[in-house]
Amino acid sequence: MVSVKSPVKTFVNMAMVAGLVLGLAGCEMDMGTPVDPAHRPARAVTLPVSGVSVAGPSGYCVDPASVRDNDKGGFALLGNCFGLSGRNNPAFKGKTALLTLSVSAPMADTEQFDPPSFEAYFASETGRRALSRSGSARTVQLIESEAQGESVLLHVRDSAPLTLRGQGREYWRALFLLNGRLVTATATPFAEAPMSENQLRTLLDRFVTELKRRNPA
């Protein structure tokens, strides 16, 4: 849980963190042209510049049209493979969510990523502002957070206007390092048929596990 007494270390580059999280929260990362112009869902995609292999848990595919990557970082959106193919299956109602991945540019010093310090940062007003889709700390409620090993986990509710139609207002997010880059993975439920809190957290854990498996240190 958050320890507000733990100070954010002065060497943490908060501008970089805020920029990364805000870019992901808005799902509007302007990073050049898509990796693959085809619209058919892909089980896995390798970002051409950062070299990160992106894939979700079983049943999830990457939307190639969402993928961006350049020297400033990368982004990808994943969803249920069946749904991304334009088909509808009532059996999946309440059992799927949106997954997003944001990858930073290479970090000059990976020790800048200190999970307890980042956890304390996101509990602050400045950190909640970074999490907000509108850039206002007033829209964000940090429901739960945890510095878990080499990762930070955040359970957030954001009342700011939505950027993707149909998405829910609560989400689970993980921040961790992959090959010298700061990665942000997020699981967001659908508003009309949301996953339970435990299901969403489990889905995020599976997403992170798959990313780490595909990108060994």
| The Cα angle at residue 99 between residues 30 and 110, in degrees rounded to 5 | 70
Higher-scoring residue by pLDDT: 116, 29: 116
Mean of the pLDDT values across residues 115-141?
Answer: 92
- Residue 184 phi/psi, 5-degree rounding, is -120, 120
Whether the predicted pLDDT of 22 surpasses 90: no
- Does the structure show a pLDDT above 60 at 30? no
pLDDT at 213 over 80: yes
Q: Which residue did the predictor score with more confidence, 17 or 199?
A: 199
Domain map (residue ranges) of the chain: 19-96+104-214
pLDDT tens digits, 190-206: 988 788 899 999 999 99
When mean pLDDT is compared across 31-35, 62-66, 68-72, 162-166, the lowest value belongs to 31-35
Lowest model confidence (mean pLDDT) among 39-43, 59-63, 170-174: 39-43
Mean pLDDT of all residues in 150-175: 92
pLDDT-above-70 percentage for the chain = 77
Rounded-to-5 percentages of helix, strand, coil across the chain: 30, 30, 40
Q: To the nearest whole number, what is the mean pLDDT of the chain?
A: 82
